[in-house]
Protein backbone atom coordinates (compact mmCIF):
# COMPACT_ATOMS: atom_id res chain seq x y z
CA UNK A 1 0.00 0.00 0.00
CA UNK A 2 2.78 2.40 0.95
CA UNK A 3 4.70 1.44 -2.16
CA UNK A 4 1.69 2.25 -4.31
CA UNK A 5 1.26 5.67 -2.75
CA UNK A 6 4.94 6.41 -3.16
CA UNK A 7 4.65 5.49 -6.82
CA UNK A 8 1.97 8.14 -7.19
CA UNK A 9 4.26 10.94 -6.07
CA UNK A 10 4.98 13.40 -8.92
CA UNK A 11 7.83 12.28 -11.13
CA UNK A 12 8.16 15.14 -13.58
CA UNK A 13 11.43 15.72 -15.43
CA UNK A 14 10.82 19.45 -15.43
CA UNK A 15 13.31 21.42 -13.31
CA UNK A 16 12.62 22.25 -9.67
CA UNK A 17 14.26 25.59 -10.13
CA UNK A 18 13.05 27.20 -13.34
CA UNK A 19 15.12 30.34 -12.78
CA UNK A 20 18.31 28.30 -12.67
CA UNK A 21 17.30 26.36 -15.79
CA UNK A 22 16.48 29.59 -17.57
CA UNK A 23 19.93 30.94 -16.81
CA UNK A 24 21.61 27.76 -17.96
CA UNK A 25 19.45 27.76 -21.10
CA UNK A 26 20.54 31.28 -21.96
CA UNK A 27 24.18 30.23 -21.52
CA UNK A 28 23.65 27.34 -23.92
CA UNK A 29 21.98 29.60 -26.46
CA UNK A 30 24.81 32.13 -26.18
CA UNK A 31 27.42 29.43 -26.63
CA UNK A 32 25.86 28.28 -29.88
CA UNK A 33 25.46 31.81 -31.19
CA UNK A 34 29.13 32.41 -30.34
CA UNK A 35 30.06 29.19 -32.10
CA UNK A 36 28.36 30.30 -35.31
CA UNK A 37 29.46 33.93 -35.08
CA UNK A 38 33.14 33.00 -34.67
CA UNK A 39 33.25 29.80 -36.69
CA UNK A 40 35.79 31.24 -39.13
CA UNK A 41 38.39 31.31 -36.33
CA UNK A 42 38.10 27.55 -35.79
CA UNK A 43 39.69 24.72 -37.72
CA UNK A 44 37.15 23.31 -40.17
CA UNK A 45 37.76 19.88 -38.69
CA UNK A 46 40.24 18.32 -36.30
CA UNK A 47 41.04 14.70 -35.47
CA UNK A 48 39.25 13.34 -32.40
CA UNK A 49 41.68 12.62 -29.53
CA UNK A 50 41.45 9.06 -28.18
CA UNK A 51 40.52 10.30 -24.71
CA UNK A 52 37.60 12.27 -26.08
CA UNK A 53 36.34 9.37 -28.17
CA UNK A 54 36.78 7.07 -25.19
CA UNK A 55 34.69 9.33 -22.97
CA UNK A 56 31.67 8.18 -24.92
CA UNK A 57 31.86 4.49 -24.24
CA UNK A 58 30.84 4.64 -20.61
CA UNK A 59 28.07 2.47 -19.13
CA UNK A 60 24.43 3.54 -18.94
CA UNK A 61 24.17 6.37 -16.38
CA UNK A 62 22.01 5.47 -13.42
CA UNK A 63 22.38 8.77 -11.61
CA UNK A 64 21.86 12.24 -13.00
CA UNK A 65 24.49 14.85 -13.65
CA UNK A 66 23.55 18.52 -13.83
CA UNK A 67 22.54 20.16 -17.07
CA UNK A 68 25.49 22.49 -16.77
CA UNK A 69 27.87 19.52 -16.44
CA UNK A 70 26.33 17.84 -19.48
CA UNK A 71 26.61 21.12 -21.35
CA UNK A 72 30.25 21.41 -20.36
CA UNK A 73 30.91 17.97 -21.78
CA UNK A 74 29.17 18.97 -25.01
CA UNK A 75 31.26 22.13 -25.29
CA UNK A 76 34.57 20.38 -24.64
CA UNK A 77 34.05 16.91 -26.09
CA UNK A 78 31.47 17.18 -28.87
CA UNK A 79 31.39 20.66 -30.37
CA UNK A 80 35.12 20.97 -31.18
CA UNK A 81 35.13 17.64 -33.01
CA UNK A 82 32.06 18.01 -35.22
CA UNK A 83 32.20 17.47 -38.97
CA UNK A 84 32.59 21.16 -39.64
CA UNK A 85 29.99 21.67 -42.35
CA UNK A 86 28.88 24.95 -40.79
CA UNK A 87 32.38 26.32 -41.52
CA UNK A 88 32.88 28.49 -44.62
CA UNK A 89 35.87 26.42 -45.79
CA UNK A 90 33.89 23.17 -45.74
CA UNK A 91 33.36 22.01 -49.33
CA UNK A 92 33.32 18.25 -48.93
CA UNK A 93 30.55 15.97 -50.20
CA UNK A 94 27.37 18.12 -50.40
CA UNK A 95 26.54 19.61 -47.04
CA UNK A 96 24.64 22.69 -46.02
CA UNK A 97 25.92 25.11 -43.41
CA UNK A 98 22.69 25.90 -41.57
CA UNK A 99 21.75 29.33 -40.22
CA UNK A 100 21.09 30.98 -36.85
CA UNK A 101 17.45 31.39 -37.92
CA UNK A 102 17.20 27.66 -38.56
CA UNK A 103 18.82 26.87 -35.23
CA UNK A 104 16.42 29.07 -33.29
CA UNK A 105 13.43 27.62 -35.14
CA UNK A 106 14.65 24.13 -34.27
CA UNK A 107 14.62 25.14 -30.62
CA UNK A 108 11.01 26.29 -30.91
CA UNK A 109 10.07 23.04 -32.65
CA UNK A 110 11.70 20.99 -29.91
CA UNK A 111 9.92 23.03 -27.25
CA UNK A 112 6.55 22.44 -28.89
CA UNK A 113 7.42 18.77 -29.40
CA UNK A 114 4.75 18.45 -32.09
CA UNK A 115 4.16 15.05 -33.67
CA UNK A 116 3.38 15.62 -37.34
CA UNK A 117 2.04 12.16 -38.12
CA UNK A 118 -1.45 13.64 -38.35
CA UNK A 119 -4.41 15.19 -36.53
CA UNK A 120 -5.86 18.68 -36.73
CA UNK A 121 -3.06 20.96 -35.58
CA UNK A 122 -1.50 24.12 -36.92
CA UNK A 123 1.99 22.61 -37.29
CA UNK A 124 0.55 20.47 -40.11
CA UNK A 125 -0.64 23.63 -41.84
CA UNK A 126 2.94 24.86 -41.69
CA UNK A 127 4.04 21.67 -43.43
CA UNK A 128 1.21 22.09 -45.97
CA UNK A 129 2.40 25.66 -46.55
CA UNK A 130 5.81 24.31 -47.56
CA UNK A 131 3.97 21.92 -49.90
CA UNK A 132 2.19 24.84 -51.57
CA UNK A 133 5.46 26.70 -51.92
CA UNK A 134 7.22 23.71 -53.48
CA UNK A 135 4.30 23.23 -55.89
CA UNK A 136 4.69 26.88 -56.90
CA UNK A 137 8.49 26.79 -57.06
CA UNK A 138 8.64 23.68 -59.26
CA UNK A 139 5.53 24.36 -61.36
CA UNK A 140 3.67 21.29 -60.12
CA UNK A 141 -0.15 21.04 -60.50
CA UNK A 142 -2.75 21.37 -57.72
CA UNK A 143 -2.86 17.57 -57.42
CA UNK A 144 0.70 17.56 -56.11
CA UNK A 145 1.57 16.59 -52.57
CA UNK A 146 4.77 16.82 -50.58
CA UNK A 147 6.21 15.24 -47.47
CA UNK A 148 9.16 16.01 -45.25
CA UNK A 149 11.53 13.08 -44.87
CA UNK A 150 15.00 12.68 -43.39
CA UNK A 151 16.79 13.32 -46.67
CA UNK A 152 16.88 12.61 -50.36
CA UNK A 153 18.02 9.02 -49.79
CA UNK A 154 14.57 8.42 -48.32
CA UNK A 155 12.85 10.70 -50.84
CA UNK A 156 14.41 8.75 -53.72
CA UNK A 157 13.35 5.48 -52.07
CA UNK A 158 9.78 6.79 -51.79
CA UNK A 159 9.97 7.71 -55.49
CA UNK A 160 10.77 4.11 -56.38
CA UNK A 161 8.06 2.78 -54.04
CA UNK A 162 5.30 5.05 -55.36
CA UNK A 163 6.30 4.31 -58.96
CA UNK A 164 6.33 0.60 -58.17
CA UNK A 165 2.80 0.65 -56.77
CA UNK A 166 1.68 2.84 -59.67
CA UNK A 167 3.08 0.29 -62.14
CA UNK A 168 1.86 -2.88 -60.42
CA UNK A 169 -1.41 -1.59 -59.01
CA UNK A 170 -2.58 -1.32 -55.41
CA UNK A 171 -3.11 -5.11 -55.31
CA UNK A 172 0.66 -5.47 -55.23
CA UNK A 173 0.56 -4.21 -51.65
CA UNK A 174 -1.15 -7.50 -50.83
CA UNK A 175 0.51 -9.86 -53.27
CA UNK A 176 4.00 -8.42 -52.99
CA UNK A 177 6.17 -7.54 -55.95
CA UNK A 178 6.61 -11.11 -57.17
CA UNK A 179 2.89 -11.80 -56.95
CA UNK A 180 2.13 -9.47 -59.85
CA UNK A 181 4.15 -11.52 -62.30
CA UNK A 182 5.71 -8.47 -63.98
CA UNK A 183 9.42 -7.89 -64.20
CA UNK A 184 9.86 -4.21 -63.61
CA UNK A 185 12.97 -2.44 -64.88
CA UNK A 186 14.31 0.94 -63.74
CA UNK A 187 16.87 3.29 -65.31
CA UNK A 188 19.39 5.74 -63.91
CA UNK A 189 22.60 7.22 -65.27
CA UNK A 190 26.02 5.97 -64.24
CA UNK A 191 26.32 9.33 -62.46
CA UNK A 192 23.25 8.71 -60.27
CA UNK A 193 23.62 8.76 -56.49
CA UNK A 194 24.17 5.39 -54.83
CA UNK A 195 20.90 5.75 -52.93
CA UNK A 196 19.03 4.87 -56.15
CA UNK A 197 20.75 1.49 -56.09
CA UNK A 198 19.90 1.17 -52.41
CA UNK A 199 16.27 2.04 -53.19
CA UNK A 200 16.13 -0.82 -55.69
CA UNK A 201 17.48 -3.19 -53.04
CA UNK A 202 15.11 -2.02 -50.31
CA UNK A 203 12.07 -2.00 -52.58
CA UNK A 204 12.55 -5.69 -53.32
CA UNK A 205 13.01 -5.05 -57.04
CA UNK A 206 16.71 -5.79 -56.83
CA UNK A 207 19.62 -4.09 -58.49
CA UNK A 208 19.46 -6.57 -61.36
CA UNK A 209 16.38 -4.60 -62.40
CA UNK A 210 18.33 -1.31 -62.53
CA UNK A 211 19.91 -0.37 -65.86
CA UNK A 212 22.87 1.98 -65.89
CA UNK A 213 22.56 4.61 -68.60
CA UNK A 214 25.88 6.00 -69.87
CA UNK A 215 26.67 9.72 -69.67
CA UNK A 216 28.11 12.04 -72.32
CA UNK A 217 31.20 14.26 -72.13
CA UNK A 218 29.26 16.78 -70.02
CA UNK A 219 28.38 14.06 -67.53
CA UNK A 220 24.71 14.16 -68.57
CA UNK A 221 22.51 11.13 -69.13
CA UNK A 222 22.68 9.91 -72.75
CA UNK A 223 19.00 9.89 -73.67
CA UNK A 224 19.50 7.97 -76.93
CA UNK A 225 21.22 5.23 -74.93
CA UNK A 226 18.32 5.27 -72.47
CA UNK A 227 15.86 4.78 -75.36
CA UNK A 228 17.92 1.84 -76.65
CA UNK A 229 18.00 0.19 -73.22
CA UNK A 230 14.23 0.56 -72.87
CA UNK A 231 13.67 -0.96 -76.32
CA UNK A 232 15.94 -3.91 -75.54
CA UNK A 233 14.13 -4.57 -72.26
CA UNK A 234 10.74 -4.42 -73.93
CA UNK A 235 11.96 -6.84 -76.61
CA UNK A 236 13.02 -9.18 -73.81
CA UNK A 237 9.50 -9.10 -72.35
CA UNK A 238 10.38 -6.95 -69.35
CA UNK A 239 8.38 -3.97 -68.08
CA UNK A 240 10.26 -0.65 -67.99
CA UNK A 241 8.59 1.48 -65.31
CA UNK A 242 10.88 4.13 -63.81
CA UNK A 243 13.64 6.52 -64.78
CA UNK A 244 15.58 8.67 -62.33
CA UNK A 245 17.32 11.76 -63.69
CA UNK A 246 19.61 13.98 -61.63
CA UNK A 247 19.09 17.71 -61.22
CA UNK A 248 22.73 18.04 -60.25
CA UNK A 249 24.71 14.81 -60.13
CA UNK A 250 26.47 14.21 -56.86
CA UNK A 251 29.94 13.90 -58.36
CA UNK A 252 30.14 16.86 -60.75
CA UNK A 253 26.86 18.78 -60.49
CA UNK A 254 25.94 17.94 -64.10
CA UNK A 255 22.25 18.35 -64.86
CA UNK A 256 20.66 15.55 -66.87
CA UNK A 257 18.64 16.74 -69.91
CA UNK A 258 15.42 16.79 -67.90
CA UNK A 259 13.07 17.88 -70.72
CA UNK A 260 14.37 15.16 -73.06
CA UNK A 261 14.08 12.52 -70.36
CA UNK A 262 10.55 13.79 -69.65
CA UNK A 263 9.64 13.42 -73.36
CA UNK A 264 10.98 9.89 -73.50
CA UNK A 265 9.34 8.89 -70.21
CA UNK A 266 6.04 10.24 -71.51
CA UNK A 267 6.32 8.32 -74.80
CA UNK A 268 7.31 5.14 -72.99
CA UNK A 269 4.91 5.65 -70.09
CA UNK A 270 7.68 5.51 -67.52
CA UNK A 271 7.54 7.19 -64.14
CA UNK A 272 9.81 10.25 -64.40
CA UNK A 273 11.60 10.82 -61.11
CA UNK A 274 14.10 13.61 -60.52
CA UNK A 275 16.79 13.40 -57.86
CA UNK A 276 17.18 17.07 -57.02
CA UNK A 277 19.03 16.57 -53.74
CA UNK A 278 22.05 18.54 -54.81
CA UNK A 279 20.67 21.04 -57.29
CA UNK A 280 16.88 21.38 -57.43
CA UNK A 281 16.79 24.35 -55.07
CA UNK A 282 19.01 26.24 -57.52
CA UNK A 283 15.68 27.19 -59.16
CA UNK A 284 15.45 29.73 -56.33
CA UNK A 285 17.84 31.76 -58.49
CA UNK A 286 16.22 33.19 -61.63
CA UNK A 287 19.64 32.97 -63.30
CA UNK A 288 20.00 29.23 -62.63
CA UNK A 289 16.37 28.17 -63.05
CA UNK A 290 16.45 27.80 -66.88
CA UNK A 291 19.04 25.02 -66.53
CA UNK A 292 16.30 22.91 -64.90
CA UNK A 293 13.70 23.12 -67.67
CA UNK A 294 11.68 19.92 -67.58
CA UNK A 295 11.78 19.48 -63.81
CA UNK A 296 8.16 20.73 -63.74
CA UNK A 297 7.17 17.56 -65.64
CA UNK A 298 8.51 15.13 -63.04
CA UNK A 299 6.14 12.56 -61.55
CA UNK A 300 8.14 12.84 -58.36
CA UNK A 301 11.02 14.90 -57.07
CA UNK A 302 13.51 14.44 -54.23
CA UNK A 303 15.18 17.51 -52.76
CA UNK A 304 17.11 18.56 -49.69
CA UNK A 305 16.44 21.75 -47.79
CA UNK A 306 19.45 20.84 -45.65
CA UNK A 307 21.84 21.30 -48.57
CA UNK A 308 21.39 24.38 -50.74
CA UNK A 309 18.30 25.46 -48.79
CA UNK A 310 20.55 26.20 -45.76
CA UNK A 311 18.03 24.60 -43.36
CA UNK A 312 19.71 22.70 -40.47
CA UNK A 313 19.73 18.90 -40.67
CA UNK A 314 17.64 17.03 -41.37
CA UNK A 315 15.14 18.34 -43.89
CA UNK A 316 14.66 16.24 -46.99
CA UNK A 317 11.55 16.56 -49.11
CA UNK A 318 9.54 14.35 -51.44
CA UNK A 319 7.17 15.99 -53.91
CA UNK A 320 4.74 13.92 -55.98
CA UNK A 321 2.83 15.19 -59.01
CA UNK A 322 -0.30 13.25 -58.10
CA UNK A 323 -0.83 12.90 -54.36
CA UNK A 324 -3.30 10.06 -54.99
CA UNK A 325 -0.38 7.86 -56.09
CA UNK A 326 1.21 8.50 -52.72
CA UNK A 327 -1.99 7.56 -50.86
CA UNK A 328 -2.28 4.39 -52.98
CA UNK A 329 1.18 3.41 -51.80
CA UNK A 330 1.12 4.34 -48.13
CA UNK A 331 -2.38 4.94 -46.67
CA UNK A 332 -3.48 2.30 -44.17
CA UNK A 333 -6.81 2.02 -42.31
CA UNK A 334 -5.62 1.28 -38.77
CA UNK A 335 -8.25 1.45 -36.02
CA UNK A 336 -6.08 3.51 -33.72
CA UNK A 337 -5.70 6.08 -36.49
CA UNK A 338 -9.46 6.55 -37.00
CA UNK A 339 -10.37 9.93 -38.50
CA UNK A 340 -13.14 12.33 -37.61
CA UNK A 341 -14.43 15.48 -39.24
CA UNK A 342 -14.28 17.43 -35.95
CA UNK A 343 -12.00 17.40 -32.95
CA UNK A 344 -8.28 16.68 -32.91
CA UNK A 345 -8.65 13.54 -35.05
CA UNK A 346 -9.87 15.61 -38.03
CA UNK A 347 -7.82 17.00 -40.91
CA UNK A 348 -7.48 13.79 -42.95
CA UNK A 349 -5.54 12.83 -44.99
CA UNK A 350 -2.58 12.97 -42.67
CA UNK A 351 1.14 12.83 -43.45
CA UNK A 352 1.23 9.25 -42.19
CA UNK A 353 -0.99 8.41 -45.21
CA UNK A 354 1.66 9.76 -47.57
CA UNK A 355 4.76 7.97 -46.37
CA UNK A 356 6.15 5.22 -44.15
CA UNK A 357 6.46 7.21 -40.91
CA UNK A 358 3.75 7.61 -38.29
CA UNK A 359 5.47 9.79 -35.70
CA UNK A 360 7.25 12.67 -37.38
CA UNK A 361 9.06 15.75 -36.12
CA UNK A 362 8.38 19.36 -37.07
CA UNK A 363 10.99 19.74 -39.83
CA UNK A 364 8.64 22.14 -41.55
CA UNK A 365 9.12 24.85 -38.91
CA UNK A 366 12.85 25.47 -39.49
CA UNK A 367 12.13 25.39 -43.23
CA UNK A 368 9.27 27.88 -42.87
CA UNK A 369 11.44 30.21 -40.76
CA UNK A 370 14.26 29.97 -43.30
CA UNK A 371 12.00 30.91 -46.22
CA UNK A 372 10.19 33.64 -44.26
CA UNK A 373 13.27 35.25 -42.74
CA UNK A 374 15.44 35.11 -45.86
CA UNK A 375 12.94 35.03 -48.69
CA UNK A 376 13.64 33.46 -52.06
CA UNK A 377 15.62 36.60 -52.89
CA UNK A 378 18.36 35.95 -50.34
CA UNK A 379 18.28 32.18 -50.76
CA UNK A 380 18.52 32.55 -54.54
CA UNK A 381 21.39 35.02 -54.16
CA UNK A 382 23.28 32.41 -52.10
CA UNK A 383 22.80 29.90 -54.94
CA UNK A 384 24.20 32.41 -57.42
CA UNK A 385 27.10 33.24 -55.13
CA UNK A 386 28.02 29.55 -54.76
CA UNK A 387 27.92 29.11 -58.55
CA UNK A 388 30.06 32.23 -59.02
CA UNK A 389 32.61 30.90 -56.50
CA UNK A 390 32.68 27.60 -58.40
CA UNK A 391 33.40 29.43 -61.66
CA UNK A 392 36.08 31.45 -59.85
CA UNK A 393 37.72 28.26 -58.57
CA UNK A 394 37.50 26.71 -62.03
CA UNK A 395 39.22 29.78 -63.54
CA UNK A 396 42.00 29.61 -60.95
CA UNK A 397 42.50 25.88 -61.55
CA UNK A 398 42.72 26.43 -65.33
CA UNK A 399 45.26 29.20 -64.75
CA UNK A 400 47.49 27.05 -62.52
CA UNK A 401 49.88 24.73 -64.42
CA UNK A 402 50.19 22.29 -61.48
CA UNK A 403 46.42 21.72 -61.48
CA UNK A 404 44.07 20.02 -63.89
CA UNK A 405 40.31 20.53 -64.15
CA UNK A 406 38.68 17.08 -64.18
CA UNK A 407 35.03 17.81 -65.05
CA UNK A 408 32.92 20.59 -66.55
CA UNK A 409 31.48 22.97 -63.95
CA UNK A 410 27.74 23.21 -64.51
CA UNK A 411 26.66 24.38 -61.10
CA UNK A 412 28.54 24.53 -57.78
CA UNK A 413 30.88 21.52 -57.92
CA UNK A 414 34.51 21.72 -59.04
CA UNK A 415 36.62 18.58 -59.55
CA UNK A 416 40.34 19.02 -60.08
CA UNK A 417 43.63 17.36 -59.26
CA UNK A 418 47.27 18.10 -58.68
CA UNK A 419 49.39 16.82 -61.56
CA UNK A 420 52.15 14.41 -60.65
CA UNK A 421 53.37 10.85 -60.57
CA UNK A 422 50.90 8.33 -59.12
CA UNK A 423 48.22 11.03 -59.23
CA UNK A 424 45.58 8.89 -57.47
CA UNK A 425 47.72 8.30 -54.39
CA UNK A 426 48.97 11.87 -54.48
CA UNK A 427 45.53 13.47 -54.62
CA UNK A 428 44.07 11.14 -51.99
CA UNK A 429 46.95 12.14 -49.70
CA UNK A 430 46.45 15.83 -50.47
CA UNK A 431 42.79 15.59 -49.44
CA UNK A 432 43.59 13.79 -46.20
CA UNK A 433 46.25 16.38 -45.33
CA UNK A 434 43.88 19.21 -46.19
CA UNK A 435 41.43 17.75 -43.67
CA UNK A 436 44.15 17.37 -41.06
CA UNK A 437 45.32 20.94 -41.66
CA UNK A 438 41.89 22.19 -40.57
CA UNK A 439 42.22 24.91 -43.21
CA UNK A 440 39.86 23.58 -45.89
CA UNK A 441 37.76 20.47 -46.36
CA UNK A 442 37.08 19.28 -49.89
CA UNK A 443 36.40 15.56 -50.40
CA UNK A 444 38.07 13.03 -52.65
CA UNK A 445 36.12 11.35 -55.40
CA UNK A 446 36.77 9.37 -58.55
CA UNK A 447 35.99 10.28 -62.15
CA UNK A 448 36.72 7.64 -64.80
CA UNK A 449 39.18 6.00 -62.43
CA UNK A 450 40.97 9.25 -61.61
CA UNK A 451 41.01 10.43 -58.02
CA UNK A 452 39.92 14.06 -57.91
CA UNK A 453 39.76 16.78 -55.30
CA UNK A 454 36.13 17.74 -55.22
CA UNK A 455 34.80 21.05 -53.88
CA UNK A 456 31.02 21.35 -53.61
CA UNK A 457 30.23 24.93 -52.69
CA UNK A 458 26.92 24.92 -50.84
CA UNK A 459 27.50 27.05 -47.77
CA UNK A 460 26.26 30.66 -47.65
CA UNK A 461 29.32 31.56 -45.54
CA UNK A 462 31.87 30.51 -48.14
CA UNK A 463 33.81 33.40 -49.71
CA UNK A 464 36.55 33.97 -52.25
CA UNK A 465 39.11 33.94 -49.42
CA UNK A 466 38.12 30.33 -48.62
CA UNK A 467 38.67 29.34 -52.23
CA UNK A 468 42.09 31.02 -52.06
CA UNK A 469 43.05 29.06 -48.94
CA UNK A 470 41.88 25.79 -50.50
CA UNK A 471 44.04 26.41 -53.57
CA UNK A 472 47.11 27.71 -51.75
CA UNK A 473 47.10 24.78 -49.32
CA UNK A 474 46.52 22.27 -52.12
CA UNK A 475 49.49 23.69 -54.04
CA UNK A 476 51.74 23.70 -50.97
CA UNK A 477 50.84 20.09 -50.14
CA UNK A 478 51.14 18.95 -53.75
CA UNK A 479 54.56 20.50 -54.04
CA UNK A 480 55.71 19.08 -50.71
CA UNK A 481 54.42 15.57 -51.48
CA UNK A 482 55.87 15.57 -55.00
CA UNK A 483 59.30 16.80 -53.93
CA UNK A 484 62.01 14.13 -54.03
CA UNK A 485 62.46 12.72 -50.52
CA UNK A 486 65.81 13.78 -49.02
CA UNK A 487 68.24 10.88 -48.44
C1 LIG B 1 23.05 14.23 -51.02
C2 LIG B 1 22.47 13.52 -52.19
C3 LIG B 1 21.61 12.43 -52.03
C4 LIG B 1 21.31 11.85 -50.67
O5 LIG B 1 20.59 12.77 -49.93
P6 LIG B 1 20.61 12.72 -48.33
O7 LIG B 1 19.85 13.92 -47.95
O8 LIG B 1 22.04 12.78 -47.93
O9 LIG B 1 19.96 11.45 -47.93
C10 LIG B 1 21.04 11.87 -53.15
N11 LIG B 1 21.31 12.36 -54.38
C12 LIG B 1 22.16 13.39 -54.58
C13 LIG B 1 22.41 13.88 -55.97
C14 LIG B 1 22.76 14.01 -53.48
O15 LIG B 1 23.58 15.05 -53.68
Q: If you measure from the C-alpha of residue 307 to the centroid of ligand 1, how many angstroms do you get, rounded to a whole number?
A: 9
What is the 153 CA–ligand 1 centroid distance (Å)? Answer: 6
Phi, psi angle pair for 211, to nearest 5°: -90, 140
Residue 273 CB–ligand 1 contact under 6 Å: no
Parallel, antiparallel or unpaired: strands 450-456 and 443-447: antiparallel
- 10 Å Cβ neighbour count for 331? 17
Q: Is 299 in the pocket of ligand 1 (CB under 6 A)?
A: no
93, 98, 151, best to mutate for ligand 1 pocket (most atoms within 8 Å of CB)? 151
Please report, for residues 6, 50, 413, the alpha-carbon distance to residue 392 in angstroms, rounded to integers and kept in the order given. Answer: 69, 39, 11
Does the beta carbon of 316 lie inside 6 Å of ligand 1?
yes
End-to-end CA distance of the chain: 84
Residue 178 confidence (pLDDT) = 82
Residues whose CB is less than 8 angstroms from the CB of residue 403 and which lie 6 or more positions away in sequence, other chains included = 397, 416, 417, 418, 419, 471, 474, 475
Q: State the Cα–Cα distance between residues 442 and 481, nearest whole angstrom.
A: 18
User: What is the per-residue pLDDT for 486?
Assistant: 62
pLDDT along the chain (487 residues), means of 10: 77 96 98 98 98 97 97 98 98 97 98 97 98 98 98 98 97 89 94 98 96 98 98 98 98 98 98 98 98 98 98 98 97 85 92 96 98 98 98 98 98 98 98 98 97 98 98 98 76
Is residue 145 within 6 Å of ligand 1 at its C-beta? no
The residue whose CB lies within 8 Å of the most ligand 1 atoms, and thus the one to mutate among 154, 275, 412, is 275
Nearest Cα to Cα of residue 190 among 244, 258, 264:
244
CA 277 – ligand 1 centroid, Å: 5
Closest atom of ligand 1 to 155 CA is: 9
CA of 273 to the centre of ligand 1 (A): 14
Instruction: Please state the pTM of the whole predicted model.
Output: 0.97
Asked if residue 278 has its Cβ within 6 Å of ligand 1, the reply is yes
CA of residue 5 relative to chain centroid, distance: 51
Q: Going by CA atoms, what residue is nearest to atom 1 of ligand 1? A: 277
251 lines ligand 1 (CB under 6 A): no
Is 159 near ligand 1, meaning CB less than 6 Å away?
A: no
Mutate which of 196, 199, 250 for ligand 1? The one with the most ligand atoms within 8 Å of its CB, which is 250
Q: Strands (DSSP E) along 305-398, which ranges?
A: 316-320
Atom of ligand 1 minimally distant from the CA of 276: 13
d(CA 196, ligand 1 centre) in Å? 10
Q: What is the pLDDT of residue 97?
A: 97
* Ligand 1 atom at minimum distance from 154 CA: 9
Residues 361 and 109: beta-carbon distance below 8 Å: yes
For residue 68, the CA-to-ligand 1 centroid distance in Å is 36
- β partners of residue 273: 244, 300
Could you tell me how many helices (H) and strands (E) the chain has, helices first?
A: 15, 11
Determine if ligand 1 sits within 6 Å of the CB of residue 252.
no
State if residue 152 touches ligand 1 by the CB under 6 angstroms criterion: yes
Q: How far is the CA of 184 from the centre of ligand 1 (A)?
A: 24
Distance 67 CA to ligand 1 centre (A): 35
Question: Does 312 sit in the ligand 1 pocket, CB within 6 Å?
Answer: no
Q: Is 246 in the pocket of ligand 1 (CB under 6 A)?
A: yes
| Cα(221)–Cα(365) distance, integer angstroms | 36
Name the 3-class secondary structure at 49. coil
Q: Does residue 188 line the site of ligand 1, with CB under 6 A?
A: no
> Which ligand 1 atom lies nearest to the CA of residue 278?
15
Amino acid sequence: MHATLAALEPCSLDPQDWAELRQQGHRMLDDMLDYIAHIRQRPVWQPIPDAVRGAFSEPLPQHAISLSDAHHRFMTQVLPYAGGNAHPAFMGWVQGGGTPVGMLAEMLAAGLNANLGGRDQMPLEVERQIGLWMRELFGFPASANGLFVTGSSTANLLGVLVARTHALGVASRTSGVAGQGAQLVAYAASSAHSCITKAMEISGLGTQALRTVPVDALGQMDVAALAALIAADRAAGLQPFFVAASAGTVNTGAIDPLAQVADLAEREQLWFHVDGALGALAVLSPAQAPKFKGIERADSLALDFHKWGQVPYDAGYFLVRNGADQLDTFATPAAYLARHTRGLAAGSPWPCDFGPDLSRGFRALKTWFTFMCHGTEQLGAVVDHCCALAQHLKTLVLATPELELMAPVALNVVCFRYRGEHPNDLNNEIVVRLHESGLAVPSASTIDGHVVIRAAIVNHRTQAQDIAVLLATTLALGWQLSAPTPQ
